[in-house]
Amino acid sequence: MILIQQDNFFDDIQAIRSLAFGATLYTCDHYNTQFNRAEDWPGQRTNLLSEAQPELNEIIHQHVHRNPMFQGLKFNTFVHFRGEGCEDWVHMDREPLAGIIYINPTHYEAGTRIYDENQQWITDCRYVQNRLVMYSGGYLHQGYGHHGATATQGRTTINLFLAGE
């Protein structure tokens, strides 16, 4: 599987946004200190939604499990904001399955690109509000078009990573 894209993922995106913006965002350094981690990512991210926003985490799982391919799978979920001027890089995820849901208004100059092993761009998923993009974590990818000064205005996503056993 390279990726699955599903538009109109949530029934009520405004309710999802309200829950998402109720969780505290941390810079990577603050996150690592606060939660005793050693991660590297751009922008700001919440703690695991299972702890920071359990109701939102449950809604995400209910919607993901509507797809027969993902029934029974558990994901670690986060809200992630990358605003204007934020740098990103081509990378792979450690987890075998990852995804994002774009939760802010559509911004066609932003999205996620998937690359081949030679870092040649092979597909592009534009930032369309309420769109899920699920992809194999082993594929090289990069977010782009970071915009907005605040999480409610910018490139804010819900990130999903397949949880280990």
| Superfamily designation of domain 3-162 | q2cbj1_9rhob like domain (2.60.120.620)
Pick the closest to residue 161 from 34, 13, 45, 20 (CA basis). Answer: 45
pTM of the model: 0.95
Q: What percent of the chain has pLDDT over 70?
A: 99
Res. 78: pLDDT tops 60: yes
Instruction: List the chain domain ranges.
Output: 3-162
- Tokens coding 61: 């799982």
Hey, which residues does 19 pair with through a beta bridge?
none
List, for residues 84-140, the tens digit of each pLDDT value: 999 899 999 999 999 999 999 999 999 999 999 999 999 999 999 999 999 998 899
32: buried, middle or exposed (CB in 10 Å: 19+, 13-18, 0-12)? middle
